[in-house]
A and B are shown apart, each in its own frame.
Chain A
Amino acid sequence: MPETSVFIQQFEVRGRDFANAGRASTAIKEILKEIGIPPAVVRRAAIAAYEAEMNVVLYARQGTVELQVSPAEVRLLVRDQGDGIPDIELAMQEGYSTASEEIREMGFGAGMGLPNIRKNADEFRIESVVGQGTELDIRIRL
Chain B
Amino acid sequence: MTLEEIRRILNCEVLSGDEDLEQEVFAGCGADLMSDVLAFAKPGAVLLTGLTNVQAVRTADVADIKAIVFVRGKLPDRETVELARAKGIPLLATRMTMFEACGRLWVAGLRADIEPEHAQDAGNLRLHTTV
Contact = CB atoms under 8 A, between A and B. Distances in A.
A and B, one complex? yes
Given A116-B39, A119-B39, A50 B62 contact: yes
B36 interface: yes
Interface residues of B, number: 22
- Per DSSP, are chain A's interface residues mostly helix, strand or loop, or mixed? helix
B58 A22 contact: yes
Contacts of B55: 18, 21-22, 106-108
Contact of A25 (B35, B56, B62): B62
B61 A107 contact: no
Contacts of B56: 107
A75 interface: no
Nearest to B41: A47
A26 interface: yes
A43 B43 contact: yes
Contacts of A22: 54-55, 58-59, 61-62
A1 interface: no
7 contacts: A21-B55, A21-B58, A26-B61, A29-B61, A106-B34, A110-B33, A112-B38
